[in-house]
Amino acid sequence: METKEKESGLSESAIAIYHEKGFVPAFKQAAKYAGRVGRIGTMLDWVDARLATPPYEKLGMHDTSKPTPWDQYYTTMSAEYVGISKSGTKILIVAHGIGPMATLDGVVEAYRYHYDDKTRRTEGGRISADEFWKLESGAYGDVEIVDLEEYVRTREHPFISTLHYVDALVDPVLKARLGSRSDEYIKQHAHYARKYHLDNHQRKIFDPYILQVNGPGMYWVENVKPTDGLAYAHLLSVGAIGSVHVSQSEHRVPSWVSDINTHDWYDGTRLIGIREGKLVSIDKGPDPRHILRKHWQELFESSGLDRAPDGIFVIMQMPDETWFTQVTKKGARADTHEPEFRVTSMEKVGEVARFYTESNYPVPIFRYDIREAQAVLPKEANAYELVGEPTKTGGADSQETCLVQGYRIEIDHTQRLIRQEVLANDYEKMMKLHEK
């Protein structure tokens, strides 16, 4: 098998790198994995991976521990630029792994226009008109060029609609984004979408909705054009397959859809590190949260404490049922769910009690102050866990409530687990444990 892969130029040496701090640390870790002869994946690589790897057997479902390329979103090193051509028309250019945004410095410099604006009134990146014209002329290599004015004029809802299979086959922006194997991919996606409808809805749909071609409003709003000698610049991202209710659908059932979108600087970033060859499959990559829970015995560090911290602890169980305290939160917010000190002994104190929080926020996350839970616990309790799911006492914006169980615990205060954010930046340690 190894010999065949080398002879064919194929490689399964690829991982998906996500970092909660965004593009820069994700890029550095993906580049470290790829090494000198590797690369960070473009849209072309993602297309190769989807064509080489079938989705989860039961369409509409997936295994979160072993996601396929159909099951996750990715940020790619394909970039899209919109500007005024040398002839004076508004055009869209797609460049796969070449051009001003083909490097870390180039991406950061382009998006600086966005993140340096503290008013948050701008979006996306920018390159100079001179760089844009170099792309247009082919100075960086082969690129795809679309007449954006004609594209917008001939479509009812450009960049905000979901495409049927037959429309996807002739959509110039989608085809430019997907690259040379676009037709092959679109047909394969439609094949699985038809199977999805047959398996889940018992319906034969020849022309299913399959792909969303999304983009910022500045692309298509009439008379909005780049100014001050600049052109718009974005990386391209791809979304995981989802069961989507398409508002304009005549089928009246959810469709099996991915979105092909532009990447904003503050969007989540998952990059594909590829060591060599043509991409065949993508490993999930290291997850610091999962590694902490699976390999906690190897991730202790000295706490420097001569006694246990004061206050009350929120406790949690690891997958192997070992108990830990959570990293203490501050103020009225969600629990951290991040393990810190190992619990060496514990016993229940009192009965399950109910507390109410005044810390409601208009978000689907249960936020509360530790003091609100502590107020209903016996005085001898120095720890607690939430029991069951929080509920609302009335309508959508009503007060929330939850049950809580008190405990008296002892902990090993001499050592604590490494913080998740520290582990996330220790590539070597993460990879060592990830590969175990």
**pLDDT for 133:** 97
**pLDDT for 293:** 96
For residue 426, count CB atoms less than 10 angstroms from its CB and return exposed for 0-12, middle for 13-18, buried for 19 or more: middle
User: 158, 220 in Cβ contact below 8 A?
Assistant: yes
**pLDDT for 362:** 62
**pLDDT for 393:** 84
| pLDDT tens per residue across span 57-112 | 888 777 888 889 999 999 999 999 999 999 999 999 999 999 999 999 999 999 99
User: 197, 205 in Cβ contact below 8 A?
Assistant: yes
**pLDDT for 308:** 95
Phi, psi of 339 (to 5 degrees): -70, 145
Token pair, residue 418, equals: 């490494």
**pLDDT for 58:** 83
Q: CA-to-CA distance for 298 and 350, rounded, in angstroms?
A: 35
pTM of the shown model: 0.88
> What residue spans define the domains of the chain?
2-285, 305-413
> Strands 242-244 and 255-263, how do they pair?
antiparallel
111-131 residues labelled b (16+ CB within 10 A) or e (exposed): bebbeeeeeeeebbbbbbbeb
Over the chain (436 residues), the average pLDDT of each successive run of 10 is 38 85 97 94 96 88 85 96 93 97 97 84 88 97 96 90 95 97 98 94 93 85 72 96 83 91 94 86 92 97 96 96 96 94 97 89 82 96 96 82 97 97 96 89
With CA atoms as reference, report the closest residue to 285 among 1, 13, 5, 11. 13
**pLDDT for 9:** 43
**pLDDT for 410:** 97
